[in-house]
Structure 1
């Protein structure tokens, strides 16, 4: 194996149930490193303002309006009309839509504070609305929100603008309005089409409803449509999930995300309504995942990494083949690594070598803004070691390959000496056929792509020092 980067290829076959069972454990999803559970309250508004100021005055911004490096924006809309029992998102359950107008006022204040710190006209190449349920907002409120963002930032003509959609909250007319506002990517939350599973998780949405919305979205010309699924839900069986996989594959979304349900009722109150005896056992979960992976591969999807699939023609699959895949707090992306501004309650951002998170409760978030303060309540300033390990982990997660020389040149270190203990811990994974190591690089095998989290965990210094992994979702 040479040190020349190779193009990543989708795995030719699904992993065996035996291997899935052997490697099932808790671990981070690595949308960042260090992960959000490592953020500290010592990082607050003052530290965040300093990071924003450094971006504004840094060499990238000298003499260039908006700087030479574009931003990514994430806006969190926490409201939902009804609770889904599996949900672990930060949300506010209410049918009082007046809260939407109040929230927009708060977002306007937060946006203004960012413009004051960053300067006007910062270029934006990626915008994502998540939740909660962003489509809880009315068409008029969504128009107002997009106007606020476009007035404060220079959202590029070719920007990737995506929104999470609860199929129960939209129709063809609303989808047309989203297209008019500039959204070019949709993500439909489906989770499962089986009626018994939907009833068990309190989310009823017939397959026919989603199918009609897919047809409307196609006719409107959205660039990419994603469907979210979950395996391991109550009342779910290998046979029922196989039917859902077949139904989803027939709908032909450009992308599919298949997440594993993490049952943590001690942390997430809605999950206490799920009866533990209704949950599939470990053996069933393993079978479900193995069959689902095989099912999507058989229907022509490329395996991207983690729990993501895409049609070969989708930009994400193209980026994977060409070694241009990236990863941020929203998951895999085709967008180059850039600073992320998180807006809204609980939103997470990244600016320079810092991470930040807003207040998780609506009252605390709004109180900070009324006082004229950025609502950041915790975060992290990365150490040199954090930055080095982030480079390694993201190379594994996105390219499936770490070239020693590239890390050495970027961080001025001897890779084998610096990561001697980690290279030794990789040996069992080498023996299982998941990783190859030579004089120049670490390379995931096609089989190893399915277990990229397990490989990345080896380089997580915080995780290796903390054996309590119950806080994380399981790999299966």
Structure 2
């Protein structure tokens, strides 16, 4: 059982990356030619991501790239732009590469009407070939979901669904401008199960106004009655310099660091005692879930969509702000819709920034990703995989772990580095030791715990 130690939290709770990539997105630069970013396409299966940015209202905690509108006409126009982008990208991807994974994020994908979802489905399926066991998932908002939406996503092939709940307490819901009833949640889940969607994830947030350890306990009790397969329980990241609307939450007051740590203790205790495996950071899964199995087998991966069971895929993102990844590059689309449209109309890929990894980057990426996923680094295995004497190459970094070792967050011997259960709460801090770019970075990050 992991019990957060307040003194250690006070010591290590500092800003740091979430390591959905390495190097992280702040290192991406405009000084990379688009040709270099798409020249590295491989032959592995594809993982497609579509960013659908529209929301009918603004949740004041949200830091995502989104556009607030009550109209559906912009979504119709956006689908046409996605088709243009797909057509521009297809020659670079090569023929008949199977799609192993497809994810719709946002924004609110169910802001699109059922008819628009069908249009998007035809656009995607006419251009890509899907593996028979492809995982197709969508992030949906129960407040604005209808059974017709669910049926449309089912026709598209969605078999995994994630519902944003965040909190069940009405006072907190009103404070963050997201009022959502238990009935709406249960209807959404029932419709998804009736449509054959085999996996359910629930998103929650702790650290919002008026939340307490007791209220978090109540939220978990209700949410567990939904029987989710996975839960993402995010620590609220207060980054008003990125999301100015978050300043509104300051009027209500935010829980203290000590209160947040107590909430985290409740979350870990409740979920791990009720059949869920702590995957890492803010993710939990039933012990029988493929993600939990992949973690135990040390085949789990981490990318811009979080933790994943797919390890040999190339990520290709479409839509504003989406990020793509090949073996040696990252590329990110522009975030402004007008710029996105203008570039597509000019026949240009709507790329804003990118990064080409060097050999050191690739070695550090593998090291950080294995650390984030396995919580263990086996030196002999990594030496063989990277083609270097691992302990010699990273001698300086291993020497910097003394504080973590003294605080019993890390075990280090001649064969491996192993993160302890308590240390798993500080996995971002430990990964930061291996980040060669962090010291020179001017990026501002959320706190690590």
CA contact (8 A) 1:26 1:473 kept: yes
Report whether the alignment pairs 1:294 with 2:269.
yes
Report whether the alignment pairs 1:474 with 2:426.
no
Aligned with residue 52 of structure 2, among 50, 73, 77:
77
CA distance in 2, matches of 1:14, 1:263: 24
Partner residue of 1:225? 200
SS of 2:171's equivalent?
helix
Cα RMSD (Å) of the superposition? 1.6
Q: Deviations over 1:8-37 (max 9, x none)?
A: xxxx33333443333322111111001001
Partner residue of 1:172? 147
CA distance in 1, matches of 2:217, 2:11: 23
What is the CA-CA distance between 1:274 and the residue it aligns to? 2.0
CA distance in 1, matches of 2:102, 2:121: 10
Q: Residue 44 and residue 197 in structure 1: after superposition, are their counterparts in 2 closer, same or farther (change >3 A)?
A: farther
CA contact (8 A) 2:37 2:356 kept: no
CA contact (8 A) 2:118 2:155 kept: no
Partner residue of 2:67? 92
Alignment of 1:100-115 (within 5 A): 100-115=75-90
SS of 2:39's equivalent?
helix
CA distance in 2, matches of 1:108, 1:269: 32
CA contact (8 A) 1:192 1:244 kept: yes
CA contact (8 A) 1:48 1:376 kept: no
Partner residue of 1:377? 352
Q: Deviations over 1:339-394 (max 9, x none)?
A: 11010001000122000000010001111000000001101001111101001001
CA distance in 2, matches of 1:41, 1:407: 32
CA contact (8 A) 1:21 1:286 kept: no
Partner residue of 2:27? 38
**Which shifted more, 442-451 or 186-195?**
442-451
Q: Deviations over 1:137-163 (max 9, x none)?
A: 111111121221111111112101000
**Which shifted more, 397-406 or 253-262?**
397-406
Aligned with residue 386 of structure 2, among 397, 404, 411:
411
CA distance in 2, matches of 1:184, 1:312: 20
SS of 1:270's equivalent?
helix
CA distance in 1, matches of 2:219, 2:167: 6
Partner residue of 2:190? 215
CA distance in 2, matches of 1:215, 1:450: 34
SS of 1:37's equivalent?
helix
Aligned with residue 421 of structure 2, among 440, 446, 460:
446
Q: Deviations over 1:175-201 (max 9, x none)?
A: 233223210000001111110111011
SS of 1:443's equivalent?
strand
SS of 1:148's equivalent?
helix
Alignment of 1:38-437 (within 5 A): 38-52=27-41, 55=42, 67=43, 69-276=44-251, 278-437=253-412
Partner residue of 2:10? 21
CA distance in 2, matches of 1:387, 1:352: 9
CA contact (8 A) 1:76 1:344 kept: yes
SS of 1:274's equivalent?
helix
**Which shifted more, 114-123 or 32-41?**
114-123
Q: Deviations over 1:249-284 (max 9, x none)?
A: 222210000111111222212213222551111111
Runs of 4+ off more than 6 Å: none
CA contact (8 A) 2:46 2:315 kept: yes
What is the CA-CA distance between 1:44 and the residue it aligns to? 4.1
What is the CA-CA distance between 1:404 and the residue it aligns to? 1.4
CA contact (8 A) 2:113 2:149 kept: no
What is the CA-CA distance between 1:165 and the residue it aligns to? 0.2
What is the CA-CA distance between 1:117 and the residue it aligns to? 2.0
SS of 2:165's equivalent?
strand
CA contact (8 A) 1:164 1:188 kept: yes
**Which shifted more, 370-379 or 259-268?**
259-268
Q: Structure 1, unaligned stretches of length 5 or more?
A: 1-11, 56-66
CA distance in 1, matches of 2:302, 2:293: 15
